[in-house]
Amino acid sequence: MSDKNSWEEMCAEIQERSLSNTSLFEVKDTRALWSEIFKCLIFASDEKILDTQRHEIYELLKRGEPPKDILDLLRIGEGSKFKQTNYHVITGGKKNQKHRQDIPHFKLNNGCWFDFTILISEASKPSQILGFNFEIRFPEKFSPSFLRFDLNPPNHKNNVGNMRFHLHPSNEMIMLHSPPMSPLEILHMFLYGIEIPDKSRATRS
């Protein structure tokens, strides 16, 4: 019989499928992933897909230490094995859940704009992507207004309902299972896979 328990079991199976392809979340190290992302963004800028200029990409794409709240989660999960120097983040712009255009971000030639954060553990070889968020916002008056892909770090308070890997379709309160995608695949989708209809097409539809 179909019921809430059946759905919860399905959620567990969906999440297991999403996270079972470990190659999606393995990288040589933080520097190597940063380099791949940098090349992708520079190429998109040179192609005029990305309105963000080369010098702006240098300013927006950073490597550094995770914020304290994320480090605290990792410390809880690992206990005495925790070593802060094992963890790094790559940031593209700044997290911007209030969707303010004055906060640094990447700009696309179709009017969309986005930012991202990626959490990486170098405690083992190959390095592991433990979490990320990629959020793209659409032009004013366009629906949906935004789309965010989240992979929550282990022990995150929002890891309920077997939805560690999920997306938010224009609403913070709605969480849907995400298709299994790596950070580079999501970035390529933002750059090349989202077509914004022009006004005439939007009017006809």
Give residue 200's pLDDT band: very low, low, confident or very high (50, 70, 90).
very low
| Residue pLDDT, tens place only, 92-122 | 999 887 889 899 999 999 999 999 999 999 9
Q: Residue 201 — very low, low, confident or very high, per pLDDT cuts 50/70/90?
A: very low
Among 138, 108, 128, 116, smallest CA distance to 45 is for 108
141/203 Cα distance (integer angstroms): 13
Arithmetic mean of pLDDT, 60-75 = 85
* Interval 2-13 mean pLDDT: 76
**Nearest to residue 160, comparing CAs of 2, 6, 15?**
15
Under the banding of pLDDT at 50, 70 and 90, the label for residue 4 is low
Contact 157, 163 (CB under 8 A): no
168-183 burial code (b ≥16 CB/10 A, e <16): beeeeeebebbeebbb
Q: Are 182 and 25 in contact (CB under 8 A)?
A: yes
